[in-house]
Structure formats: C-alpha cells, structure tokens
Amino acid sequence: MKSQIGLIGLAVMGRNFALNFSNKNIPISVYNRTSQITDDFIDTYSRSNLKGFISLQDFVNSLEKPRKILLIVKAGPAVDNVIQELIPLLDPNDTIIDCGNSYFKDTQARQKYLQEKEIQYIGMGISGGEEGALNGPSLMPGGEKEVVEKLLPLLEKVAAPSPTPCVAYMGNNGAGHYVKMIHNGIEYADMQLIAEIYHLGRKVFKMDNLTLSQLFEQFQKTELNSYLVEITAKILRTPDSTPDTFLVDKILDVAEAKGTGKWTVQEAVELDEMVPSIMAAISARSKSKEKRKRQELERKYKRDNKEQLLPSSNEINLLLQEAMLAAKILSYAQGIDLLQKASEVYQFDLNLSKIAKVWRGGCIIRSSLLNTIADHFEKSEQSLLFSPFFQERLQQCMGSLRKLIGIAQGNTIPVGSLSGALFYFDLNSTDNLPMNLIQAQRDYFGAHEFARTDRPGRFHYQWSENGNN
Ligand code: NBP
C-alpha cells in the first residue's frame, strides 16, 4: 500500500511530526539525509503505517499520487538542496510542503521556481516544539489557495484539536512563513516580558523561586493564562540535584536565538512599523552573550539605586500582574500591526481572526488573550488598540505598567520589553508629538520643508543668514 504522505528530515520536529501522522492512522513514508537516523527511527517505532527509506527514489515511489512531501530540514540552503534532489523524481502536480522556519522571501522565490516546473510549493509555519509536533501543532500553510485547501482535511487531523483545529489557509506568496515569523517575534517579546517580571521579582521584591512560581501559577488563573506562563511556573520550582537548590539558578544567563525574531524587527523597519518589545527581546539575548563585558562594566559603574518607596507586599502581585497584562496586550498589538501592514504591502490578504484562532492551540504563544483578539478581528479591521475590551483593560493596567517601569529604572533593572510596550502605547496614543521640532531641524540643515498647522502647503524658512540654508 502506498503512503498518503511523505516526510523528509528526521530531527526533533520531523520525527515527532511523522509519529503524529502515524498515530492518526495516516500512512507515512520518511527519509533522512543520514540514513542511520532513518534506520534507528524505524527500529524504534516499528509500525505498519510508518515506512522508512534509505533511497530518495524509493521514498518518492512509495507515495500516493499526486504526492505530498513535507520537508522539515534546517531552514536555508538545506531546503534548496532537497528541492534539487526531488525535482527529477517528481511529477507535475506533486506538492512540496516546507515546514521549516524558512525566510518568506525564499519561500516566494521557491514557489515561483517550482511553478515553472509544475510542482506545487507550500510554505507552512509550524509551531509547538517537539511536544506540539507529536500531539498537535499550530499550522500556518501558505501558497496557492486551491492547493492548500486540498491539504486542509489531512492537516486538520494532525493539528492541535482545540478549541478548533489549529490550521487555516494563511495566504499566497510566502504568507504562511510570514505569519510564523511574526508568531516567533511575539514569542520573543512574551518570553522577555516574563523574564523581566522574574528579574524584578527576585532582585527588587526579593521573591524566592517558589514564591515566583506561585505568582506565575496565580497568573494562570487570570487573562495572562498561557503556555509560557504555565511552563515558567514549572521551571521555577524545578529542583537541582543538591537539596534546596533550583535548576534555574544554575543555568548560565546567556540566551540564544535562531533568527526569526531578527527578521521580524527587520521587517518592521522595512514596512515603517514599530515592534520595540520584540526589538528589546532580541537586544537582551544578543547582549546576554557578552557576559565578560557585562561583568566588567558592572564592576566599573557604581549602582546609583535610589531609595524608593516600594509597594506593600499585598500590592506587589497585582502590580506585576497588571503591568504584565498591559505589556502583553501591547506586544501582541505590535506583531499584529506588522501583520496588517504586510498584508497590504505584500497582498497576502490575511485574515487576522483566523490567525489568532490558529494560534490558540498547539503553539508556543497560545494564550487565552487570543480568544479576545480573534473576536476583535471578527468585527473590526482596526488595530487592537481600538478594541473596546482591550481599551478597558489598558485603561485599568497602564498605571501599573508605568509604576513598575519606574521601579525598575530606580533599581537599575533593564526592562526593555516592558518599556517598549509603554513606548508603543504612548507613541500611538499621543496627539501632539515633538515632530514639529524635528521637521524644523530638517528644514534648517537640509531645506526639507515643513507643513504648517495654520495653512496648507509646503514651506521653507531661511533660518540663518550665514549658516546652512
Ligand atoms: P534542524 O533545524 O536541526 O535540522 C536538522 C535536519 O535537517 C536533519 O534531518 C538534517 O539531516 C537535515 N539537513 C541538514 Br542540517 N542539511 C541537509 C541537507 N543539505 N540535505 C538534507 N537534509 C539536511 O531540525 P529541527 O530542530 O527538527 O527543525 C526543523 C525545521 O523546523 C527548522 O527549519 C526549524 O527552524 C523548524 N522548527 C523547529 C522547531 C523546534 O522547536 N526545533 C519549531 C518550529 C519549527 P541529517 O540528519 O542528515 O543531518
């Protein structure tokens, strides 16, 4: 019997995704460049609906036509290598589905290139890590609509099932990978916000790991309910091997990144949008790598911690909770603003309500807030800041965000993502900005002209008799 689908790439994501298909009784063939990995995988999971192949030709021949092949290999040149190896073995109308974190412009180019060879190409974002891949990830497929629609019944069987199957058509032209990139950008900000709350909790409010774990457990019972908050509560109470020690305290404070967050920031700059909470999260990870420099400079600069009146212990939890809720809403808003702009610029025709629904299960940023976000975009195309629900929440919580940032600054705690959220909010909701002065400076040194508030037209002023202009 032929397999319904094929999968290439048996690293963490690929092997778990293959098992997910097999668990749903969908016959699947697998292939990996290093054949030993395929052999070991098939030896471990001996099942009639899971077949491993050492030869790529045999793998391709084992698939039902038109063929559907999932690629889950390292993003970048590896994807092109596999595509080149597959081309001579495929027939017209076979479909390749790239499930890696490919750059959306690479996906656009690959789709165009393969279209000329009558091979369908789908760029599909997948989120959920290994657990999601095995039990149901969030899937973000993009490409030709008819091709994706034919695949959807199959993908719905392996996607996260609740609250509704977490898969939907995203759009054409690399839209699937674009949405996944923004998902990852929001994920960076979400993680950084949690880390900043943790930093403030232990350094300023002197909370120990168990108290902090309880704080995050308490957050889980509120609108902050999310996968990342849930795992943070668990991480903080995980002991190390010696008594009364915690694993988190033994982990070096140097964080790594793979690139999708950086692309999100680059895209924001390219499209004249702002994602300061995501940008701060990227910077925090980058600077964390300079451990020795940080150590040296901390020794050099005396900390000028001002005596501050801290909130009473029964106020602290609410302060942290409200500040985090405001910052979380605002970091989602930043990512979603960028999606809205990209949808116009690249003509993705994104459906933001569907995207929020696809992110509600399986993926790393799954959270209860996404239900409210989905509801907002069912009714409106305006930014999240215009949602009456979020307006009410922000009105209630912005005071705590401002207060917490003040406390952080007074205690020399870097809180870039919290501050970035506040910057985004204030910049977006301030009528009179000081850009009149910027425009005057531009006109002074560069004769760039300015518009006036009292009459229409463009104006230039001779600011100085002998200086510039
Ligand atoms: P990796 O990103 O580490 O990729 C390893 C796989 O790529 C192996 O199967 C390897 O084969 C194959 N490969 C490489 Br490297 N170069 C190749 C080439 N030239 N030709 C053919 N195969 C090649 O694995 P992963 O962590 O499972 O991630 C897979 C994709 O999914 C990536 O794009 C990743 O960004 C994305 N993703 C990962 C996660 C996650 O949580 N890890 C989540 C969401 C998305 P080999 O065994 O022969 O070396």
CATH number, domain containing residue 460: 1.20.5.320
**136: its two tokens:** 């149901």
What is the reported pLDDT for 399?
98
Residues 186 and 290 occupy one common structural domain: yes
Q: State what percent of residues in the chain have pLDDT above 70.
A: 99
Query: Domain ends where: 134, 149, 173?
Result: 173
State phi, psi for 128 to the nearest 5 degrees.
Answer: 140, 0
Higher pLDDT, 14 or 308: 14
- Ligand 1 neighbourhood includes 126 CB (under 6 angstroms): yes
- Ligand 1 neighbourhood includes 259 CB (under 6 angstroms): no
The amino acid at residue 13 is: M
pLDDT in tens, 234-266: 999 999 999 889 999 999 999 999 989 999 999
Residues 79 and 207 occupy one common structural domain: no
Strand 68-71 versus strand 50-53 pairing type: unpaired
Given a cut of 80, whether residue 225 has pLDDT beyond it is: yes
Sheet (strand 95-98) strand order: 50-53, 28-31, 5-8, 68-71, 95-98, 120-127, 138-142
- Ligand 1 neighbourhood includes 370 CB (under 6 angstroms): no
Number of structural domains found in the chain: 3
pLDDT in tens, 38-62: 999 999 998 999 999 999 999 999 9
Catalytic residue check, 2: no
Given a cut of 80, whether residue 462 has pLDDT beyond it is: yes
What is the reported pLDDT for 252?
97
Picking from 68, 108, 104, the residue whose alpha carbon sits closest to that of residue 86 is: 68
- Ligand 1 neighbourhood includes 34 CB (under 6 angstroms): yes
Catalytic residue among 68, 187, 196, 262: 187
Average pLDDT of the segment spanning 307-330: 92
| Ramachandran region, residue 127 (left: φ > 0; alpha: ψ -120 to 50; beta: rest) | beta
Distances from the Cα of 360 to the Cα of 310, 371, 385, angstroms: 36, 7, 20
- Nearest 5°: CA angle at 279, between 262 and 344? 70
Boundaries of domain holding 423: 180-428
Average pLDDT of the segment spanning 5-21: 98
Between the CA of 87 and the centroid of ligand 1 the distance, in Å, is: 20
Residues 287 and 307 occupy one common structural domain: yes
Residue nearest to ligand 1 atom 18, measured at CA: 78
261 Cα distance to chain centroid: 7
Residues 113 and 202 occupy one common structural domain: no
Residues 267 and 333 occupy one common structural domain: yes
What is the reported pLDDT for 46?
85
Catalytic residue among 180, 262, 354, 357: 180
Query: Domain ends where: 113, 142, 173?
Result: 173
Split at pLDDT 50, 70, 90, the class of 302 is confident
Query: Domain ends where: 137, 154, 173?
Result: 173
Higher pLDDT, 467 or 374: 374
Residues 343 and 462 occupy one common structural domain: no
C-alpha span between 368 and 220 (Å, rounded): 10
What is the reported pLDDT for 292?
96
State phi, psi for 52 to the nearest 5 degrees.
Answer: -105, 145
Split at pLDDT 50, 70, 90, the class of 469 is low
pLDDT in tens, 404-451: 999 999 999 999 999 999 999 999 999 999 999 999 999 999 999 999
Picking from 361, 362, 360, 187, the residue whose alpha carbon sits closest to that of residue 258 is: 187
What is the reported pLDDT for 324?
98
Split at pLDDT 50, 70, 90, the class of 309 is confident
C-alpha span between 339 and 273 (Å, rounded): 10
- Ligand 1 neighbourhood includes 101 CB (under 6 angstroms): yes
CATH number, domain containing residue 357: 1.10.1040.10
Query: Which residues have CB under 8 Å from 447's CB, separation 6+?
Result: 460, 469
Q: Where are the alpha helices (DSSP H) in 221-275?
A: 227-236, 260-270
Strand partners for 7 = 30, 70
Picking from 368, 384, 425, the residue whose alpha carbon sits closest to that of residue 401 is: 425
- Ligand 1 neighbourhood includes 52 CB (under 6 angstroms): no
* 453 CB neighbour count, 10 Å cutoff: 5
What is the reported pLDDT for 23?
97
Residues 204 and 147 occupy one common structural domain: no
Catalytic residue check, 187: yes
Average pLDDT of the segment spanning 292-305: 89
* 316 CB neighbour count, 10 Å cutoff: 21
What is the reported pLDDT for 468?
59
Residues 453 and 358 occupy one common structural domain: no
Given a cut of 90, whether residue 305 has pLDDT beyond it is: no
Given a cut of 80, whether residue 454 has pLDDT beyond it is: yes
Average pLDDT of the segment spanning 163-176: 96
What is the reported pLDDT for 182?
98
- Ligand 1 neighbourhood includes 33 CB (under 6 angstroms): yes
Between the CA of 237 and the centroid of ligand 1 the distance, in Å, is: 32
CATH number, domain containing residue 121: 3.40.50.720
- Nearest 5°: CA angle at 265, between 261 and 271? 140
Residue nearest to ligand 1 atom 22, measured at CA: 33
Residues 424 and 456 occupy one common structural domain: no
Higher pLDDT, 466 or 423: 423
> Is the whole-model pTM more than 0.85?
yes
Residues 110 and 186 occupy one common structural domain: no
**139: its two tokens:** 């899937």
What is the reported pLDDT for 314?
85
In the block, residue with structure tokens 């690399």: 174
Which of 73, 87, 180 to probe ligand 1 with, by most ligand atoms within 8 A of CB? 73
Strand 120-127 versus strand 138-142 pairing type: antiparallel
What is the reported pLDDT for 221?
97
Residues 246 and 386 occupy one common structural domain: yes
pLDDT in tens, 126-166: 999 999 999 999 999 999 999 999 999 999 999 999 889 99
C-alpha span between 102 and 75 (Å, rounded): 5
| Peptide bond preceding 66 in cis form (omega within 30 of 0) | yes
Residues 278 and 184 occupy one common structural domain: yes
Note the residue count of the chain: 469
